[in-house]
Amino acid sequence: MEKLKLGVLGSGKGSNFRAIADAIQTGGLNAEARIVISDVESAGILALAHERKIRAEFVAPGRFKTKLEPEAEQRVVALLQEAGVEFVVLAGWMRMIKAPLLEAFPRRIINIHPSLLPAFPGLEAWKQALAAGATEAGCTVHYVDSGMDTGEIIARSAVPVFPTDTAEELHARIQVAEHRLYPAVLARLAPAQPEAR
């Protein structure tokens, strides 16, 4: 039976990747993680991929902070294509996506962002929500375009902000929502599972 063949890009600890891999393992998501790629050699997401026997690749990002060097982005595209990836999942990927990757996977790259977009795009969105006095925060899964957190929204999940919240507490609450939302959205995008007998 066909499964959605995923490539996962991340720069951090990889808790969203873990949630996705768990959903695949427990049968809630009809997909297969073919490769995990990071721009950070020591990133937890690569270690997690190793543990789960999923191909893990570090790609040296080059001289820019907010995007990959064009050659590095080409390398990412080549790795994804070699691995037979159909759909690209950004899970804590900290760089903008440029033409080579966008053109190789049109409308096939999604991201999760820790705010209720279009509010608070950009870095540390939960801190932005706290600073703005928001009473509600959350996360958004969206298609990726060339802007920063601007692509078409697929789904959002809200969490409350409590007056006593620290940034860490709010981020942790948002991450719990992320770990539910991301696998659920992917399950909707994946081919239907056959009925359990």
> Using CB under 6 A, which of 35, 36, 91, 144 touches ligand GRF?
91
> Using CB under 6 A, which of 4, 7, 9, 15 touches ligand GRF?
15
- Three-class SS state of 46: helix
The yes or no reply on residue 61 touching ligand GRF (CB under 6 A) is no
Q: Distances in Å between the alpha carbon of 88 and those of 63, 93, 106, 140, 156?
A: 24, 11, 10, 16, 19
| List of residues 6+ apart from 155 with CB closer than 8 A | 140, 141, 181, 184, 185
The yes or no reply on residue 178 touching ligand GRF (CB under 6 A) is yes
The yes or no reply on residue 175 touching ligand GRF (CB under 6 A) is yes
Residue 112 CB, shortest distance to ligand GRF, in Å, is 5
The yes or no reply on residue 13 touching ligand GRF (CB under 6 A) is yes
Residues 35, 38, 42, 44, Cα dihedral to 10°: -60
Residues 66, 71, 77, 80, Cα dihedral to 10°: -90
The yes or no reply on residue 173 touching ligand GRF (CB under 6 A) is no
- Three-class SS state of 24: helix
> Using CB under 6 A, which of 14, 100, 138, 183 touches ligand GRF?
14
142 included as an active-site residue: no
> Using CB under 6 A, which of 12, 28, 62, 121 touches ligand GRF?
12
Chain centroid offset of residue 114 CA: 11
The yes or no reply on residue 138 touching ligand GRF (CB under 6 A) is no
Residue positions counted in the chain: 197
Of 50, 113, 171, 179, which is the active-site residue? Answer: 113
* 103-132 positions binding ligand GRF, by CB under 6 A: 112-114
Given the rule CB under 6 A, which residues bind ligand GRF?
10, 12-16, 91-92, 112-114, 139, 175, 178
Question: Which residues are catalytically annotated?
Answer: 113
